[in-house]
Amino acid sequence: MPKGLNVHTEIGPLKKVMLHRPGLDMVYFGDEDFDRVWFHDALYLERAQEEHDRFAELLRQEGAEVLYLEDLLKEALDADPDARGEFTNTYLAESRLPGKEYAAAAREFLDSIEDTGEFVKRVFRGIRRKEVELPHRSAHTLAELDATKDDPDSLIDPLPSSYFTRDAFAVVGNGVNMSHMYHYNRNRETLLGETIFTHHPEYRGVPLWYDRKSSFHTEGGDVLNFGRHTLAVGLSQRTEAAAIDQMAQNMFWGDEECEIEEILAFKIPASYAFMHLDTVFTQVDVDKFTVHPNILGTLKVYRLTPGATKGEVRIAEIDDTLEHILEKALGIDSVQLIECGGGDPVLAAREQWNDGSNTLCVKPGVVCVYERNVVTNDLLCKNGMKLLVVPSAELSRGRGGPRCMSMPFWREEI
Protein backbone atom coordinates (compact mmCIF):
# COMPACT_ATOMS: atom_id res chain seq x y z
CA MET A 1 0.00 0.00 0.00
CA PRO A 2 1.49 3.36 -0.99
CA LYS A 3 2.11 6.09 1.61
CA GLY A 4 -0.22 8.97 2.28
CA LEU A 5 -3.95 9.48 1.83
CA ASN A 6 -6.42 8.78 -0.95
CA VAL A 7 -10.14 9.42 -0.51
CA HIS A 8 -12.25 10.78 -3.35
CA THR A 9 -15.60 9.15 -2.64
CA GLU A 10 -17.82 7.90 0.16
CA ILE A 11 -18.14 4.43 -1.37
CA GLY A 12 -14.86 3.32 -3.00
CA PRO A 13 -13.55 0.02 -1.52
CA LEU A 14 -12.17 0.87 1.92
CA LYS A 15 -8.51 -0.11 2.29
CA LYS A 16 -7.33 1.86 5.36
CA VAL A 17 -9.38 3.41 8.11
CA MET A 18 -8.56 5.10 11.41
CA LEU A 19 -10.51 4.25 14.58
CA HIS A 20 -10.16 4.94 18.29
CA ARG A 21 -11.15 2.22 20.76
CA PRO A 22 -12.91 3.83 23.74
CA GLY A 23 -10.75 3.49 26.86
CA LEU A 24 -10.13 5.27 30.12
CA ASP A 25 -11.00 8.51 28.31
CA MET A 26 -14.56 7.34 28.97
CA VAL A 27 -14.35 6.88 32.72
CA TYR A 28 -13.26 9.93 34.69
CA PHE A 29 -16.28 12.19 34.52
CA GLY A 30 -19.79 12.16 35.95
CA ASP A 31 -23.18 13.51 34.94
CA GLU A 32 -22.41 17.01 36.22
CA ASP A 33 -19.48 17.14 33.84
CA PHE A 34 -21.33 16.10 30.66
CA ASP A 35 -21.50 19.58 29.16
CA ARG A 36 -17.96 20.49 30.09
CA VAL A 37 -16.34 17.37 28.64
CA TRP A 38 -18.96 17.34 25.85
CA PHE A 39 -20.11 13.77 26.21
CA HIS A 40 -23.64 13.21 27.44
CA ASP A 41 -23.89 9.73 28.94
CA ALA A 42 -22.02 7.28 31.15
CA LEU A 43 -21.07 4.23 29.12
CA TYR A 44 -20.59 0.65 30.28
CA LEU A 45 -17.01 0.66 29.04
CA GLU A 46 -16.32 -3.06 28.71
CA ARG A 47 -19.44 -3.57 26.60
CA ALA A 48 -18.60 -0.51 24.47
CA GLN A 49 -15.15 -1.97 23.83
CA GLU A 50 -16.63 -5.33 22.80
CA GLU A 51 -18.93 -3.55 20.37
CA HIS A 52 -16.07 -1.48 19.02
CA ASP A 53 -13.87 -4.55 18.55
CA ARG A 54 -16.66 -6.15 16.55
CA PHE A 55 -16.88 -3.03 14.39
CA ALA A 56 -13.13 -3.20 13.70
CA GLU A 57 -13.37 -6.92 12.94
CA LEU A 58 -16.17 -6.37 10.40
CA LEU A 59 -14.04 -3.78 8.61
CA ARG A 60 -11.01 -6.08 8.54
CA GLN A 61 -13.12 -8.91 7.13
CA GLU A 62 -14.00 -6.61 4.25
CA GLY A 63 -10.32 -6.06 3.50
CA ALA A 64 -9.67 -2.78 5.33
CA GLU A 65 -6.54 -2.24 7.38
CA VAL A 66 -7.57 -0.75 10.73
CA LEU A 67 -5.27 1.94 12.11
CA TYR A 68 -5.70 3.19 15.65
CA LEU A 69 -5.42 6.89 16.46
CA GLU A 70 -3.48 6.04 19.61
CA ASP A 71 -0.80 4.12 17.65
CA LEU A 72 -0.49 6.80 14.98
CA LEU A 73 -0.02 9.49 17.62
CA LYS A 74 2.60 7.41 19.41
CA GLU A 75 4.48 6.76 16.16
CA ALA A 76 4.35 10.46 15.29
CA LEU A 77 5.71 11.49 18.69
CA ASP A 78 8.47 8.88 18.50
CA ALA A 79 9.46 9.89 14.98
CA ASP A 80 10.84 13.31 15.86
CA PRO A 81 12.77 14.32 18.99
CA ASP A 82 11.01 17.71 19.20
CA ALA A 83 7.50 16.39 18.66
CA ARG A 84 6.57 15.47 22.21
CA GLY A 85 7.75 18.79 23.67
CA GLU A 86 5.82 20.80 21.09
CA PHE A 87 2.77 18.63 21.57
CA THR A 88 2.85 18.99 25.37
CA ASN A 89 3.08 22.78 25.14
CA THR A 90 -0.04 23.09 23.00
CA TYR A 91 -1.94 20.36 24.84
CA LEU A 92 -1.38 22.14 28.18
CA ALA A 93 -2.13 25.57 26.73
CA GLU A 94 -5.51 24.26 25.52
CA SER A 95 -6.42 22.24 28.61
CA ARG A 96 -7.93 25.17 30.55
CA LEU A 97 -5.64 24.87 33.54
CA PRO A 98 -6.47 27.44 36.21
CA GLY A 99 -3.14 29.19 36.74
CA LYS A 100 0.56 28.70 36.13
CA GLU A 101 1.18 26.47 39.14
CA TYR A 102 -1.35 23.96 37.89
CA ALA A 103 0.17 24.00 34.43
CA ALA A 104 3.59 23.38 35.97
CA ALA A 105 2.27 20.47 38.06
CA ALA A 106 0.55 18.93 35.01
CA ARG A 107 3.70 19.35 32.92
CA GLU A 108 5.83 17.69 35.54
CA PHE A 109 3.38 14.79 35.68
CA LEU A 110 3.31 14.33 31.89
CA ASP A 111 7.07 14.77 31.50
CA SER A 112 7.70 12.09 34.11
CA ILE A 113 6.02 9.47 31.88
CA GLU A 114 8.85 7.94 29.93
CA ASP A 115 7.03 5.50 27.72
CA THR A 116 5.36 7.27 24.78
CA GLY A 117 2.51 4.74 24.71
CA GLU A 118 1.67 5.51 28.36
CA PHE A 119 1.98 9.22 27.68
CA VAL A 120 -0.53 8.94 24.82
CA LYS A 121 -3.00 7.06 27.02
CA ARG A 122 -2.76 9.94 29.51
CA VAL A 123 -3.44 12.46 26.80
CA PHE A 124 -6.83 10.78 26.25
CA ARG A 125 -7.56 10.06 29.88
CA GLY A 126 -6.64 13.43 31.44
CA ILE A 127 -5.32 13.98 34.97
CA ARG A 128 -7.12 13.93 38.32
CA ARG A 129 -6.04 16.52 40.85
CA LYS A 130 -5.20 13.94 43.43
CA GLU A 131 -2.69 12.38 41.06
CA VAL A 132 -0.34 15.35 41.09
CA GLU A 133 1.61 17.33 43.64
CA LEU A 134 -0.38 20.56 43.73
CA PRO A 135 0.97 23.93 44.79
CA HIS A 136 0.43 25.24 48.33
CA ARG A 137 -2.95 26.74 49.21
CA SER A 138 -2.12 30.34 48.31
CA ALA A 139 -2.16 29.19 44.70
CA HIS A 140 -5.97 29.08 44.82
CA THR A 141 -7.53 31.06 42.01
CA LEU A 142 -10.85 32.81 41.68
CA ALA A 143 -11.77 30.23 39.05
CA GLU A 144 -11.33 27.55 41.68
CA LEU A 145 -13.12 29.38 44.46
CA ASP A 146 -16.01 30.11 42.17
CA ALA A 147 -16.01 26.60 40.76
CA THR A 148 -19.71 26.26 40.27
CA LYS A 149 -19.39 24.48 36.97
CA ASP A 150 -15.97 22.91 37.24
CA ASP A 151 -15.25 19.46 38.54
CA PRO A 152 -13.04 20.08 41.56
CA ASP A 153 -11.44 16.67 41.08
CA SER A 154 -10.36 17.11 37.50
CA LEU A 155 -7.13 18.87 36.56
CA ILE A 156 -7.17 18.00 32.85
CA ASP A 157 -10.43 16.74 31.40
CA PRO A 158 -10.50 13.52 29.37
CA LEU A 159 -11.37 13.31 25.65
CA PRO A 160 -14.37 10.93 25.66
CA SER A 161 -15.65 11.87 22.19
CA SER A 162 -12.41 10.85 20.53
CA TYR A 163 -13.86 7.53 19.35
CA PHE A 164 -15.72 9.69 16.81
CA THR A 165 -12.61 9.87 14.64
CA ARG A 166 -14.68 11.38 11.83
CA ASP A 167 -14.77 14.80 13.37
CA ALA A 168 -11.34 16.19 14.28
CA PHE A 169 -10.24 16.18 10.64
CA ALA A 170 -11.50 14.94 7.30
CA VAL A 171 -9.47 13.33 4.54
CA VAL A 172 -10.30 15.02 1.22
CA GLY A 173 -8.43 13.67 -1.81
CA ASN A 174 -4.76 13.41 -0.82
CA GLY A 175 -4.99 16.08 1.85
CA VAL A 176 -6.72 16.91 5.10
CA ASN A 177 -9.35 19.38 6.16
CA MET A 178 -8.32 19.97 9.77
CA SER A 179 -11.22 20.94 12.00
CA HIS A 180 -11.74 23.69 14.50
CA MET A 181 -14.24 22.07 16.83
CA TYR A 182 -17.51 23.58 18.02
CA HIS A 183 -16.83 22.66 21.64
CA TYR A 184 -13.51 23.55 23.29
CA ASN A 185 -13.05 20.17 24.94
CA ARG A 186 -13.14 18.46 21.57
CA ASN A 187 -10.69 20.92 20.03
CA ARG A 188 -7.72 19.15 21.61
CA GLU A 189 -8.65 16.15 19.43
CA THR A 190 -7.57 18.18 16.41
CA LEU A 191 -4.11 18.56 17.93
CA LEU A 192 -3.71 14.77 17.76
CA GLY A 193 -4.42 14.89 14.03
CA GLU A 194 -2.14 17.84 13.44
CA THR A 195 0.71 16.02 15.20
CA ILE A 196 0.22 12.98 12.95
CA PHE A 197 0.22 15.09 9.79
CA THR A 198 3.31 17.01 10.94
CA HIS A 199 5.50 14.19 12.25
CA HIS A 200 4.28 10.70 11.29
CA PRO A 201 6.69 9.11 8.77
CA GLU A 202 3.83 7.93 6.52
CA TYR A 203 1.60 10.97 6.73
CA ARG A 204 3.74 14.05 7.40
CA GLY A 205 3.57 16.85 4.92
CA VAL A 206 0.18 16.07 3.37
CA PRO A 207 -1.60 19.24 2.23
CA LEU A 208 -3.94 20.84 4.76
CA TRP A 209 -7.08 22.52 3.43
CA TYR A 210 -8.17 24.08 6.73
CA ASP A 211 -6.31 25.34 9.79
CA ARG A 212 -7.28 24.24 13.31
CA LYS A 213 -6.40 27.76 14.48
CA SER A 214 -8.99 29.38 12.23
CA SER A 215 -11.62 31.30 14.19
CA PHE A 216 -14.54 29.54 12.52
CA HIS A 217 -15.65 26.10 13.55
CA THR A 218 -16.11 23.11 11.28
CA GLU A 219 -16.10 19.35 11.93
CA GLY A 220 -15.37 16.31 9.78
CA GLY A 221 -18.88 14.88 10.18
CA ASP A 222 -19.98 17.67 7.85
CA VAL A 223 -17.56 16.75 5.06
CA LEU A 224 -18.64 14.24 2.38
CA ASN A 225 -16.53 13.33 -0.65
CA PHE A 226 -18.84 13.18 -3.66
CA GLY A 227 -16.07 12.68 -6.20
CA ARG A 228 -12.59 13.75 -7.22
CA HIS A 229 -13.81 17.27 -8.01
CA THR A 230 -16.90 17.71 -5.80
CA LEU A 231 -17.13 18.08 -2.04
CA ALA A 232 -20.32 18.32 0.03
CA VAL A 233 -20.15 20.24 3.32
CA GLY A 234 -22.89 20.61 5.91
CA LEU A 235 -23.74 24.14 7.01
CA SER A 236 -24.86 23.05 10.44
CA GLN A 237 -24.62 23.44 14.18
CA ARG A 238 -20.98 22.36 13.83
CA THR A 239 -19.83 24.10 10.64
CA GLU A 240 -20.17 27.83 10.10
CA ALA A 241 -20.70 29.48 6.73
CA ALA A 242 -17.44 31.45 7.10
CA ALA A 243 -15.54 28.18 7.58
CA ILE A 244 -16.87 26.94 4.24
CA ASP A 245 -15.79 30.24 2.62
CA GLN A 246 -12.25 29.67 3.92
CA MET A 247 -12.23 26.06 2.68
CA ALA A 248 -13.26 27.27 -0.76
CA GLN A 249 -10.46 29.86 -0.78
CA ASN A 250 -7.89 27.29 0.27
CA MET A 251 -9.07 24.54 -2.06
CA PHE A 252 -9.63 26.71 -5.14
CA TRP A 253 -6.90 29.30 -4.68
CA GLY A 254 -4.45 28.02 -2.05
CA ASP A 255 -0.77 27.28 -2.62
CA GLU A 256 -1.28 23.50 -2.53
CA GLU A 257 -2.70 21.76 -5.59
CA CYS A 258 -6.30 20.64 -4.80
CA GLU A 259 -8.58 18.81 -7.22
CA ILE A 260 -11.85 20.08 -5.73
CA GLU A 261 -13.62 22.36 -8.21
CA GLU A 262 -17.03 22.56 -6.60
CA ILE A 263 -18.27 22.70 -3.01
CA LEU A 264 -21.94 22.06 -2.28
CA ALA A 265 -22.99 23.55 1.05
CA PHE A 266 -26.04 21.77 2.49
CA LYS A 267 -27.78 23.89 5.09
CA ILE A 268 -29.43 21.73 7.73
CA PRO A 269 -31.19 22.80 10.95
CA ALA A 270 -28.74 23.73 13.73
CA SER A 271 -29.62 21.24 16.46
CA TYR A 272 -27.95 18.51 18.51
CA ALA A 273 -29.97 15.71 16.88
CA PHE A 274 -28.86 16.87 13.41
CA MET A 275 -25.41 18.05 14.45
CA HIS A 276 -23.57 17.09 11.23
CA LEU A 277 -24.54 16.47 7.62
CA ASP A 278 -23.62 12.80 8.10
CA THR A 279 -26.25 12.39 10.81
CA VAL A 280 -29.01 13.07 8.30
CA PHE A 281 -27.60 11.75 5.09
CA THR A 282 -24.97 9.17 3.96
CA GLN A 283 -24.19 7.46 0.66
CA VAL A 284 -24.64 3.67 0.58
CA ASP A 285 -24.18 2.83 -3.10
CA VAL A 286 -23.29 4.51 -6.40
CA ASP A 287 -26.85 5.78 -6.70
CA LYS A 288 -28.36 5.41 -3.21
CA PHE A 289 -28.37 7.49 -0.06
CA THR A 290 -30.04 7.03 3.28
CA VAL A 291 -31.66 10.28 4.48
CA HIS A 292 -33.58 11.57 7.45
CA PRO A 293 -36.96 12.56 5.96
CA ASN A 294 -37.39 15.50 8.34
CA ILE A 295 -34.71 17.53 6.58
CA LEU A 296 -36.18 17.24 3.13
CA GLY A 297 -38.51 20.20 3.52
CA THR A 298 -35.98 22.62 4.98
CA LEU A 299 -32.87 21.82 2.99
CA LYS A 300 -31.12 24.71 1.21
CA VAL A 301 -28.13 24.04 -1.00
CA TYR A 302 -25.47 26.52 -2.19
CA ARG A 303 -22.87 25.89 -4.88
CA LEU A 304 -19.39 27.41 -4.55
CA THR A 305 -17.05 27.37 -7.56
CA PRO A 306 -13.87 29.25 -8.50
CA GLY A 307 -14.50 32.52 -10.34
CA ALA A 308 -12.57 33.79 -13.35
CA THR A 309 -10.01 35.88 -11.45
CA LYS A 310 -7.64 34.62 -8.78
CA GLY A 311 -9.23 34.59 -5.33
CA GLU A 312 -12.78 34.91 -6.64
CA VAL A 313 -15.41 32.38 -5.48
CA ARG A 314 -18.82 32.26 -7.12
CA ILE A 315 -21.77 31.37 -4.91
CA ALA A 316 -25.28 30.50 -6.03
CA GLU A 317 -28.26 28.96 -4.32
CA ILE A 318 -29.46 25.86 -6.17
CA ASP A 319 -33.19 25.72 -6.59
CA ASP A 320 -33.87 22.04 -7.28
CA THR A 321 -34.86 18.79 -5.61
CA LEU A 322 -32.32 16.91 -3.53
CA GLU A 323 -32.44 14.01 -5.99
CA HIS A 324 -31.59 16.27 -8.94
CA ILE A 325 -28.80 18.02 -7.05
CA LEU A 326 -27.24 14.66 -6.17
CA GLU A 327 -27.66 13.27 -9.69
CA LYS A 328 -25.86 16.27 -11.12
CA ALA A 329 -23.11 16.21 -8.50
CA LEU A 330 -22.43 12.51 -9.04
CA GLY A 331 -22.93 12.61 -12.82
CA ILE A 332 -25.57 9.85 -12.86
CA ASP A 333 -29.11 9.58 -14.24
CA SER A 334 -31.05 8.75 -11.17
CA VAL A 335 -30.59 8.65 -7.42
CA GLN A 336 -32.67 6.82 -4.86
CA LEU A 337 -33.22 8.20 -1.36
CA ILE A 338 -33.90 5.59 1.30
CA GLU A 339 -35.71 7.20 4.21
CA CYS A 340 -34.64 6.54 7.79
CA GLY A 341 -37.39 4.82 9.80
CA GLY A 342 -39.22 4.04 6.56
CA GLY A 343 -40.45 7.64 6.45
CA ASP A 344 -42.70 7.33 9.51
CA PRO A 345 -42.08 10.58 11.43
CA VAL A 346 -41.79 8.98 14.89
CA LEU A 347 -39.76 5.95 13.81
CA ALA A 348 -37.57 8.20 11.69
CA ALA A 349 -36.90 10.50 14.64
CA ARG A 350 -36.13 7.58 16.98
CA GLU A 351 -33.81 5.82 14.59
CA GLN A 352 -32.19 9.07 13.54
CA TRP A 353 -31.48 9.79 17.23
CA ASN A 354 -29.54 6.50 17.23
CA ASP A 355 -27.81 7.22 13.94
CA GLY A 356 -30.01 5.24 11.56
CA SER A 357 -28.81 7.46 8.68
CA ASN A 358 -25.17 7.40 9.77
CA THR A 359 -23.80 4.45 7.83
CA LEU A 360 -20.24 3.65 6.75
CA CYS A 361 -20.02 2.33 3.22
CA VAL A 362 -17.09 -0.10 2.73
CA LYS A 363 -17.73 -0.68 -0.97
CA PRO A 364 -20.73 0.09 -3.19
CA GLY A 365 -23.79 -1.59 -1.67
CA VAL A 366 -21.99 -2.88 1.45
CA VAL A 367 -22.60 -0.75 4.56
CA CYS A 368 -21.89 -0.81 8.28
CA VAL A 369 -25.00 -0.01 10.34
CA TYR A 370 -26.03 -0.07 13.98
CA GLU A 371 -28.00 -3.19 14.89
CA ARG A 372 -30.66 -1.27 16.82
CA ASN A 373 -32.13 0.60 13.84
CA VAL A 374 -34.31 -2.29 12.73
CA VAL A 375 -36.77 -0.39 10.55
CA THR A 376 -34.12 1.43 8.51
CA ASN A 377 -31.94 -1.68 8.28
CA ASP A 378 -34.83 -3.74 6.96
CA LEU A 379 -35.44 -1.14 4.29
CA LEU A 380 -31.77 -1.08 3.30
CA CYS A 381 -31.86 -4.88 2.92
CA LYS A 382 -34.99 -4.71 0.81
CA ASN A 383 -33.15 -2.27 -1.42
CA GLY A 384 -30.37 -4.79 -2.00
CA MET A 385 -27.73 -3.56 0.45
CA LYS A 386 -25.46 -6.01 2.23
CA LEU A 387 -25.36 -4.96 5.90
CA LEU A 388 -22.43 -5.30 8.29
CA VAL A 389 -24.25 -5.10 11.58
CA VAL A 390 -22.52 -3.47 14.56
CA PRO A 391 -23.86 -4.19 18.06
CA SER A 392 -24.84 -0.79 19.42
CA ALA A 393 -26.33 -0.75 22.90
CA GLU A 394 -23.42 1.31 24.29
CA LEU A 395 -21.58 2.95 21.40
CA SER A 396 -24.72 4.73 20.20
CA ARG A 397 -25.07 6.61 23.49
CA GLY A 398 -22.30 8.96 22.44
CA ARG A 399 -24.61 10.16 19.63
CA GLY A 400 -22.67 8.98 16.61
CA GLY A 401 -22.82 5.95 14.31
CA PRO A 402 -20.47 3.88 12.13
CA ARG A 403 -19.53 6.82 9.90
CA CYS A 404 -18.78 9.05 12.89
CA MET A 405 -16.59 6.32 14.41
CA SER A 406 -14.28 5.99 11.39
CA MET A 407 -11.93 8.10 9.27
CA PRO A 408 -11.02 6.56 5.92
CA PHE A 409 -7.35 7.10 4.93
CA TRP A 410 -7.48 5.12 1.70
CA ARG A 411 -10.32 4.18 -0.63
CA GLU A 412 -9.83 2.58 -4.01
CA GLU A 413 -11.27 4.41 -7.00
CA ILE A 414 -14.56 3.19 -8.44
Pairing of strands 208-210, 281-285: unpaired
Q: Does 170 bind ligand ARG (CB under 6 A)?
A: no
Among 95, 190, 198, 279, binds ligand ARG (CB under 6 A): 279
Half-sphere exposure of 410 (CA within 13 A, CB side): 14
Q: Does 400 bind ligand ARG (CB under 6 A)?
A: yes
Torsion, Cα of 193, 404, 182, 341 (10° steps): 170
Least gap, CB of 355 to ligand ARG (angstroms): 7
Closest to ligand ARG by CB, 164 or 266? 164
Helix (H) / strand (E) containing 53: helix 45-61
Q: Does 161 bind ligand ARG (CB under 6 A)?
A: yes
Q: How far apart are CA 218 and CA 178, in angstroms?
A: 9
Least gap, CB of 40 to ligand ARG (angstroms): 7
Among 404, 406, 410, 411, binds ligand ARG (CB under 6 A): 404
**207-246 positions binding ligand ARG, by CB under 6 A:** 221
Compose the 183-212 pattern: x for residues touching ligand ARG by CB under 6 A, - for all others: ---x--------------------------
Question: DSSP 3-state assignment of 252?
Answer: helix
The number of residues that bind ligand ARG (CB under 6 A) is 15
Q: Does 402 bind ligand ARG (CB under 6 A)?
A: no
* CA nearest neighbour of 219 among 276, 301, 258, 176: 276
Q: Does 33 bind ligand ARG (CB under 6 A)?
A: no
Name residue 156's amino acid.
I
Q: Does 164 bind ligand ARG (CB under 6 A)?
A: yes
Instruction: Report the residue number whose CB is nearest to ligand ARG.
Output: 221
Least gap, CB of 403 to ligand ARG (angstroms): 6
Least gap, CB of 279 to ligand ARG (angstroms): 5
Closest to ligand ARG by CB, 199 or 411? 411
Name residue 43's amino acid.
L
Among 8, 15, 372, 399, binds ligand ARG (CB under 6 A): 399
Query: What distances in angstroms separate CA 11 from CA 188, 265, 297, 330, 404, one per listed residue?
Result: 29, 20, 26, 12, 15
Q: Which residues contact 122 (CB under 8 A, 6 or more apart)?
A: 110, 113
Q: What is the largest CA-CA distance in the chain?
A: 71
* CA nearest neighbour of 313 among 252, 239, 264: 252
The gap between the terminal CA atoms of the chain, to the nearest Å, is 17
Q: Does 158 bind ligand ARG (CB under 6 A)?
A: no
Q: Does 370 bind ligand ARG (CB under 6 A)?
A: no
Phi, psi of 369 (to 5 degrees): -135, 160
368 noted as active-site residue? no
Closest to ligand ARG by CB, 58 or 170? 170
Name residue 186's amino acid.
R
Closest to ligand ARG by CB, 110 or 268? 268
Least gap, CB of 352 to ligand ARG (angstroms): 11
Neighbours of 226 (CB within 10 A): 20
* CA nearest neighbour of 150 among 87, 92, 95: 95
* CA nearest neighbour of 62 among 9, 16, 3: 16
- 262 - beta bridge partners? 230
Q: Does 398 bind ligand ARG (CB under 6 A)?
A: yes
> Could you tell me the sign of the dihedral formed by the alpha carbons of 74, 358, 373, 42, in that order?
positive
Closest to ligand ARG by CB, 209 or 252? 209
Among 8, 74, 188, 276, binds ligand ARG (CB under 6 A): 276
Q: Indicate which residues carry an active-site annotation.
A: 404
Question: Which residues of this protein are in contact with ligand ARG, per CB under 6 A?
Answer: 39, 161, 164, 166-167, 186, 221, 275-276, 278-279, 398-400, 404
